[in-house]
Structure 1
């Protein structure tokens, strides 16, 4: 049997994946797999910028303190230091390589303000299209250097003798292939697609978490989901994100009668940490209020925010009216696959970068615009580590295409049922009873394997959604406190000091609460 092999396999095509590939491809053979198009990633949708202390008025220690404060003290301090100390250097490298960030009339890089930052330190590109600009820049650099295989779903990691040695994939024709590699890197993004309202690309449903869990890797802090306060809300749907940079330029959250809802809620008002703002909007909506971003004070809004202006117009909203309807939606996973300072998981040979990884930098609540920086910094640190290591032998054991001859009787919940359940019971505000119900509903499906689903792509994606949803609900049930992105209505004021809690297969194998 032909078993393709490379030095490095990367699963995912967002910023973290492309930064890693850019560093590794000069010395390693690199293959990138993505289940959709190479442009389907949360990075492509990132309107906000990159937070970095590059100004003479700024300092890494200030960025450090802002990150710890936003993360409710749950951050891993060594990881935060690496992020904020190394960030400016890697940003300068990107600029030297030709990446263009927005500049002012004097030719200096413009720095924006966003929530919970104590100083203007956000670099933007294309106004409100920073992620897209970064992805396109890196794809151009990688042209003809890296093989990118689109529309091929990674379904399971291959683990031989306790080490990850490859990945199984399904192509558009349901052809099952085993790819072997010295290093396997998960860069699959988060899991916003588990929720009815989300800023994420439609393809981002938690595949990486589920694959890592099935392989036996440890996961950590899965209960911490950040809900972005301002998703465009039209006719019950959320077609896109309204960047926090809009509030950074002075926009305020108001009711239809003009009442400013953040007054008296937090000293930073509309620029309070995202978990605070999201809960205030959530409570207002529960009372029947409609919430809007008042943008009347922002001059030249359309030229300042061209992506948002286009998004609004496509959905029948005119920014010139001065108010944009918004609701909170699932935005970012702070937890994920447990990794060390070089992005190594607990399985030798398996690495994780970007949102699918838990480096510890975000704590219980991510500081705005730290996500793109995380992808840049830790992908570079990981690449340096991989390049410094001697090539390890890879055990290639042929895997049989074991397709069951008997039709599986498992009737999986639908995608819509999962999204509704997660938004209602594992969303912005949670409680023990609702979390227990979700855990019990999803528990029976956790032991299913892709082969039991006849290697059907749609069903495997559903299984990944179910597995990740169960991990989040189980973790949220175990954390009896409110902190950052995890808010328990039955423990609203409890502030215990918790360590980062690791999730292993054994720890959550029987998480149903009787």
Structure 2
């Protein structure tokens, strides 16, 4: 029997943070359905947000996070995120992780949308995710078991406790692994949309598995669309980091109009949901949209990854106009957890984008995603190290299969439907249309054990798409990334005034406040 102390599903920053914290004390096995470097984390061009300068405070980072999230955030968890950012980033630096510095040896801090201060740490310009993962993999090399190209297809739950996982190897063999602690760190579900920044493997697997197992989900309707995805001839080429706008880049339409000037007080550095909708509306009018980088100094050196992607695809950065569209980027909701990563199922934890800690509210603040993975990865590891959860004596499980033929849509069909009817703007008619289409496939009654990998991914995509659409129909308001054209927008300014007043009055929880 394959027994371990900790099972980690995923290989991004959240998974690696936990592995780095646990390998000295626990027997850890980590699974990824592709190779270990195929993840959104590895592609992350943005940085990690932390109030590292004397002129900045975690309280200001906290308020910027609440503002971007339209005050839908879990306030206590958001405090944990922003206050612990300094501690864990300092620890990473002390351990040898190198972030970009200026000529005097001080951290070179960038600014991105929604931040009122320069507080973004980058590594290698726009290669922060890659450098972080390389650093973390070096630390755990040969110190835990890493299983590549083996897909985790379901959780094993016995008497309301998660005791392990079922996997499928490339050649089709079904395997079972058991552990008292199972951690889902599989990322979000960007691949259910036609336009996305996510890698091809991000098909909502972890969220779908947790739903099938009976875990509580939250805020699943909140899918953030990144405003600037590099786009040419109908093809997604890659992400253009928000840091480009932080260094002076600005948006314009094909008529040369800087349309963000009249949309928000922060203009091109407004929160992502606002910028994405503004671009979407320009596209609906028939205009193309470009990111103008004329004012970005040393673009090729500052953003080498983006520069290389442009040149490889026939886009000349020296002409200063990068064609962009919005694309599905980050899911704010997911598997509901407490501050220690514990889900509503004993022994099952979730970290990173697959989890819903509530720190992002209705719209994630730029560069808080890697931060969430790091902070709550540490918190989850702490919980596991102090937990007394044990496996039951009998872990044998009989898997039920159903080899009947099934009719499923293609991945592309799901992507087309979701972008058309449940994308940046939604309404009851469009959401019901796509929900009816999704429900025409009886995916709820499909057992995944005897299905091919692609069929399992399609079942997971259908599941998460249905969850998003159903939740979007339930939330009859426009807030953050969930924008319904048939319901009014939440009066965020009024909410902000009330919370800001409370913060100013009690000076945040550091001095005893309960918000």
Give the TM-score normalised by the residue count of structure 1: 0.94
Structure 2 residue aligned with 1:204, among 202, 205, 208? 202
Asked if 2 retains the 8 angstrom alpha-carbon contact of 1:181 and 1:394, the reply is no
- The secondary structure found in structure 2 opposite 1:418 is helix
Measured after TM superposition, the shift of residue 401 of structure 1 is 5.0
Q: Secondary structure at the match of 1:332?
A: strand
In the alignment, does 2:167 pair up with 1:169?
A: yes
CA distance in 2, matches of 1:205, 1:312: 26
Which residue number corresponds to residue 6 of structure 2?
8
Partner of 1:136: 134
Counterpart CA distance in 1 for 2:175 and 2:345 is 22
Q: Give the 3-state SS of the residue equivalent to 2:412 in structure 1.
A: helix
Deviation at 1:395, TM superposition (A): 4.7
1:485 aligns with 2:474: no
2:73 to 72, 75, 78: 75
1:407 aligns with 2:426: no
The alignment partner of 1:262 has SS state of: helix
Write the mapping of 1:321-400 to structure 2, written as runs, cut at 5 A.
321-400=319-398
User: Using the alignment, how far apart are the partners of 1:214 and 1:221 within structure 2?
Assistant: 17
Shift of residue 474, structure 1, vs aligned partner = 0.4
Q: What whole-Å deviation, never above 9, does each CA across 1:318-342 have from its counterpart, x for those lacking one? A: 1011100000000000000000010
Q: What is the CA–CA distance in structure 2 between the aligned matches of 1:219 and 1:395, rounded to whole Å?
A: 30
Match of 2:425 among 429, 432, 436: 429
Between the aligned partners of 1:306 and 1:357, the Cα distance in structure 2 is 31
Q: Which deviations, in whole Å up to 9, do the C-alpha atoms of 1:247-276 show, x marking residues without a partner?
A: 000111011231101011100000000000
- Report if aligned partners of 2:400, 2:447 keep a CA contact under 8 Å in 1: no
Q: Which residue of 1 aligns with 2:507?
A: none
Partner of residue 277, structure 1: 275
Which secondary structure does the structure 2 equivalent of 1:447 belong to? helix
Query: How far is the alpha carbon of 1:442 from its aligned partner?
Result: 1.5
Gaps of 5+ in 1: 499-514
1:156-178 deviation digits (Å, cap 9, x = unpaired): 00001110000000001111001
Query: Does the Cα contact within 8 Å between 1:254 and 1:292 map onto a contact in 2?
Result: yes
Distance 1:348 1:10 in 2: 15
SS of residue in 2 equivalent to 1:328: strand
CA contact (8 A) 1:176 1:401 kept: no
Structure 1 distance, partners of 2:39, 2:489, is 36
> What value does the CA root-mean-square deviation take over the aligned residues?
1.4
Which one of the candidate residues 447, 472, 479 is aligned to 1:476?
Answer: 472
SS of structure 1 residue aligned to 2:8? strand
- Offset, 1:391: 4.6
* Range with greater deviation from structure 2 (161-170 or 256-265): 256-265
Deviations 1:378-406 (A, max 9, x none): 000110111012252335432335443x5
Work out the CA distance in 2 between the residues paired with 1:168 and 1:132. 29
Greater Cα shift, 118-127 or 295-304: 295-304
Tell me the SS of whatever aligns to 1:200: coil
| Paired residues for 1:18-417 under 5 Å | 18-404=16-402, 406-408=403-405, 410-417=406-413
How far is the alpha carbon of 1:300 from its aligned partner? 1.1
Report if aligned partners of 2:211, 2:217 keep a CA contact under 8 Å in 1.
yes
Q: Which of 442, 445, 453 is equivalent to 1:445?
A: 442
* CA distances 1:51-91 after superposition (whole Å, capped 9, x unpaired): 00111111010000000000001000000000011111000
Q: How many residues align?
A: 493
Tell me which of 467, 470, 489 is aligned to 2:463: 467
Cα deviation 1:400-419 (Å, max 9, x = unaligned) = 35443x532x2111100000
Q: 1:491 to 1:391 in 2, by over 3 A?
A: closer
Normalised to the residue count of structure 2, the TM-score between the two structures is 0.94
Question: Is the 8 Å Cα contact of residues 332 and 355 (structure 1) preserved in structure 2?
Answer: yes
Assess, with a 3 A threshold, how the Cα gap between structure 1 residues 30 and 72 changes in structure 2: closer, same or farther: same
